[in-house]
A and B are shown apart, each in its own frame.
Chain A
Amino acid sequence: MSATVSATLAEKILARACGREAVRAGEILTAKLDLLMMHDSGGPRRVASRLEKLGTTVWDPNKVVVVSDHFVPAVDMESADILALTRKWAQAQGVTHYDMLGICHVVLQEHGHVQPGMFCVGGDSHSPSGGAFGAFMVGMGATDITGALVTGEVWLRVPQTTRVQLDGMLAAGVSAKDVMLMLCGQYGMGNEGQVFEYGGSAVQAMPMHERLTLCNMAAELGAETGIVEPDATTLAALEQAGKPFHGDLAQWRSDANANYLHHYRYDAAQIAPHVAAPHSPANSRPVDEHGKVHIDQAYIGACTGAKLTDLRMAAEVLKGRKVAKGTRLLIAPASVAMTAQAAAEGTLATLTAAGAILLPSGCGACAGMGAGMLSSGEVCMSTTARNFKGRMGSAEAQVYLGSPYSVAAAAVKGEICDPRELLGESA
């Protein structure tokens, strides 16, 4: 063995997956997959006929997971047919299939599929979510997924790593979503070729759901992916999922003298709630800089915004309060298991007592595919990851993005406001 070159966590994973001692930024290499995830929209309905045309099957059914989360539950015949095709294909191929149990990124982690040090791909742009567990996971389109399914490999251009260091602790009423909206506002959506590695005491203190949000929205930064160094919190989550990690955790950390492209440092306590104005996550500013904006629809949904911890944040604000007249609050918990947990612990009752309308677990209105679409001229505030023009319905609708605290507070006041005002006072 030659002397070890210092490397970031992402570089260590890629070197292992590419069968190399080390990797260099910019190199085009072929990496072997540990896991491939796809959903009902970009999955079987788009790859089945291609595999048939190639006269071949998946390289390793044990490493493929299919999740039906986009067209769920079926709202028309097209959706019903897509879901039926997905079911049939998964069964025929002998791959794991989570059918209408929640959003793919969340379900994958609930079942412990993503482990530290893995190299994974997903047929969805928010696949960087897997980085929460210290894995390198990237999103791809359906043709790419077809190639990966056939060969068990993908080509990639080795990215550089950027470190986001959050020292201290986030203030009450401020969450991972605020951190990501702040970063989108500061660095924009054009951070191609970079892995965002999040660390520091504020990240170490975050539960896995919050880490998922950090990594998930690396997609909005335009980054290759996001990643958090795995620790005791990661191990506990895997243990709880029934898939304890048997590897060497010390192996999956960035070296102290690793080479970062950028090193962004923050005092976490100084970060304010952030809200992104239409039509880009990069149009984000501190919440108090948005002026008076009336909200027609408050939406708490998506992988990035309706996990159990997100629902608890909303409940903290909504406890003993009512949704404002002239505003509707729609909540689509990120998974069926989380809905059950929220129900058992009373969080769900707090939300419904406030007047929230419950929607099925799935991608839904976030992807412009389910209940909760917007009409021309309507204004929505949402915990989702993107507010591109026309994404949630009419191209003439306005979508603001905020944390579960901020969206719940907007539902109560009927307009955008600083959620800390409501957390500070009792209802």
Chain B
Amino acid sequence: MNVRGKAFVFGDRIDTDVLAPGPYMREPMSVLASHCLEAVDPAFASEVQRGDIVVGGESFGIGSSREQAVQALAELGVGAIIAKSFARIFYRNALNLGVPALVCADLEASRGEELEVRPVEGRIINHSTGREFSCEKIPTELMEIVAGGGLMPWLERKLAAERRT
């Protein structure tokens, strides 16, 4: 489940209203996603490509429980999110939706640099600068959820196993 793509770098406390703005919450996901992060980076939604990586600071995803904050990023193709720390609900939502969320305290990356994330090894490589960083590994119990594509596939497997017994 390694991910390689361009870095989009943001500051501390990127909140759920900036990720999934309330005024567009009634709209289809494609419309909501087109407004993702526009309050802090108007070009983000149009420039981000499949497999790109979002880098944040402290308490990434702070605020609402709205899962659309993760889904908007996934809709735009974001393959992984790296931050110094995550807000608790956002972290759960990311893993539950199969989007790797990695905690890395000292990552150095600028917008547009080529990053590679290796969640199982707990390693991040900045191919543009040639530097490597270690990140916290996702706990085994939770890796089982995220690696299988999220909580829905996990529940399907669990229910199927229960029906067999």
Q: Tell me the A residues contacting B by CB distance below 8 Å.
A: 28, 41-42, 46, 50, 53-56, 71, 76, 78-79, 82, 123-125, 127, 138-144, 146-147, 150-151, 155, 157, 189-190, 192-193, 219, 222, 224, 280, 282, 367-369, 373, 386, 388-393, 395
CB-defined A-B contacts under 8 Å, sample of 21: A55-B159, A125-B65, A138-B88, A141-B70, A143-B67, A147-B151, A151-B158, A190-B58, A190-B59, A192-B87, A192-B88, A222-B59, A368-B22, A373-B23, A386-B63, A388-B17, A388-B18, A388-B63, A390-B23, A392-B22, A395-B38
The docked-state distance in angstroms from the alpha carbon of A301 to that of B82 is 35
Query: Among the listed B21, B26, B58, B67, which residue makes an inter-chain contact with A141, where contact means beta carbons less than 8 Å apart?
Result: B67
Q: B67 touching A46 by the CB < 8 A rule?
A: yes
Q: Known: A28-B139, A139-B89. Contact between A189 and B59, CB under 8 A?
A: yes
Q: B141 touching A28 by the CB < 8 A rule?
A: yes
- Chain A residues with CB under 8 A of B43: none
B47: interface (CB < 8 Å): no
B152: interface (CB < 8 Å): yes
B73: interface (CB < 8 Å): no
- Name which residue of chain A comes closest to B156, CB basis: A54
- Name which residue of chain B comes closest to A82, CB basis: B26
Partner-contacting stretch, out of B92-100, B111-119, B124-132: B92-100
The 7 A-B residue pairs with the shortest CB-CB distance, nearest first, are A368-B22, A141-B67, A141-B93, A388-B17, A395-B39, A143-B96, A125-B65
Query: Among the listed A41, A147, A390, which residue makes an inter-chain contact with B155, where contact means beta carbons less than 8 Å apart?
Result: A147
- Chain A residues with CB under 8 A of B23: 368-369, 373, 390, 393
- Chain B residues with CB under 8 A of A219: 63
Expressed in whole angstroms, the minimum distance between the Cβ of A157 and any Cβ of chain B is: 8
- Name which residue of chain B comes closest to A157, CB basis: B139
Query: Among the listed B15, B25, B142, B150, which residue makes an inter-chain contact with A388, where contact means beta carbons less than 8 Å apart?
Result: B15
Q: Known: A143-B152, A192-B87. Contact between A369 and B25, CB under 8 A?
A: yes
Interface string of B83-110 (1 = CB under 8 A from A): 0011111001100110000000000000
- Name which residue of chain B comes closest to A224, CB basis: B88
Q: Known: A192-B59, A388-B15. Contact between A79 and B96, CB under 8 A?
A: no
B62: interface (CB < 8 Å): yes
Query: Among the listed A146, A190, A390, which residue makes an inter-chain contact with B85, where contact means beta carbons less than 8 Å apart?
Result: A190
Q: A141 touching B96 by the CB < 8 A rule?
A: yes
- Name which residue of chain A comes closest to B23, CB basis: A368
- Name which residue of chain B comes closest to A367, CB basis: B22
B137: interface (CB < 8 Å): no
Q: A143 touching B26 by the CB < 8 A rule?
A: no
- Name which residue of chain A comes closest to B163, CB basis: A55
Q: B40 touching A389 by the CB < 8 A rule?
A: yes
- Assuming A141-B70, A143-B150, what are 5 further A-B pairs, CB within 8 angstroms? A56-B159, A127-B65, A192-B88, A222-B62, A282-B13
Expressed in whole angstroms, the minimum distance between the Cβ of B63 and any Cβ of chain A is: 6
Q: A369 touching B22 by the CB < 8 A rule?
A: yes
- Chain B residues with CB under 8 A of A388: 15-18, 63
B2: interface (CB < 8 Å): no
Q: Known: A222-B59, A386-B63, A388-B63. Contact between A147 and B96, CB under 8 A?
A: yes
- Name which residue of chain A comes closest to B67, CB basis: A141
Expressed in whole angstroms, the minimum distance between the Cβ of B60 and any Cβ of chain A is: 10
The docked-state distance in angstroms from the alpha carbon of A144 to that of B155 is 11
Q: B17 touching A141 by the CB < 8 A rule?
A: no
Which residues of chain B in 117-165 are interfacial with respect to chain A, using CB atoms and an 8 Å cutoff? Answer: 139, 141-142, 150-152, 154-156, 158-159
Q: B26 touching A79 by the CB < 8 A rule?
A: yes
Q: Known: A125-B64, A368-B17, A390-B18. Contact between A146 and B151, CB under 8 A?
A: yes
- Chain B residues with CB under 8 A of A76: 26
The docked-state distance in angstroms from the alpha carbon of A424 to that of B23 is 40
The docked-state distance in angstroms from the alpha carbon of A71 to that of B27 is 13
Query: Among the listed A138, A144, A151, which residue makes an inter-chain contact with B96, where contact means beta carbons less than 8 Å apart?
Result: A144
